[in-house]
Amino acid sequence: MTTTDSLTNAGAKAGLTGNLARYYLVRAIVAAVWVAAAVAIGRSNATAAALLLVSYPAWDALANWFDAQNSGGLRTNLTQALNIAVSILAAIAVAVALQSSMNAVLVVFGIWASAAGLAQLFTGVRRWRKFGAQWAMILSGAQSTLAGVFFVTQAGGAKTPTIVDVAPYAAFGAFYFLVSAGLLMFANRQRAT
């Protein structure tokens, strides 16, 4: 391999890493805005809460589709393809569960959080080899899986859950995506120097 080939490969990797960092940053911003809307509007407006609860897994499906398309397509990103399918089903199931109760919604959110968390964890492990700096995504996936179990357990309690009970889950997601974006940006700068 020549020096020119090495520089070309390094430049391509930096471009991919930069795209992934921007994707993580957008995910962090959207999750933070969702949390703010959930607390500021969803807490007191049932219609807004319903729209926000359906939109969260729907956004996750769209974001994973976009990421997979920019990372070689769905066939090479099977964990993201699974995440897309699970998130679309979750958005539909949340819409249906809203007709029943918030307890049912929390069960759906819990099942979705666990399944999507596992898919994210495996995506992070797979990406570690190529990009490095994926520990926050791996940790986020593991925490999402555990949060899902907590949601299902919490849904069986006497207290009627609200959107505010889901907001910390999204806030942690925003934090992990922000950390991952920062780590990748830092790694890119290190490579550049």
Please state, in angstroms and rounded to a whole number, the distance separating the CA atoms of residues 56 and 60.
6
Q: In which residue ranges of the chain is pLDDT below 70? A: 1-16, 132-133, 191-193
pLDDT of residue 3: 42
Q: How many domains does the chain have?
A: 1
pTM for this structure? 0.87
Expressed as residue numbers, the domain containing 154 is 11-192
Cα 102 from chain centroid (whole Å): 22
Percent helix, strand, coil in the chain (nearest 5)? 85, 0, 15
The pLDDT score that the predictor gives to residue 191 is 66
With respect to residue 19, please indicate whether it lies within any of the assigned structural domains.
Answer: yes
In percent, the amount of the chain with pLDDT more than 90 equals 73
CA dist 6 → 120, 164, 192 (Å): 31, 50, 13
The verdict on residue 95 lying in a domain is yes
Does residue 173 lie in a domain region?
A: yes
Is 6 a domain residue?
no
Residue 5: both structure tokens together: 């080939």
> Which pLDDT score is estimated for 145?
96
Q: Would you state the pLDDT for residue 4?
A: 38
The SS3 of residue 76 is coil
Closest CA to 150 of 135, 169, 123: 169
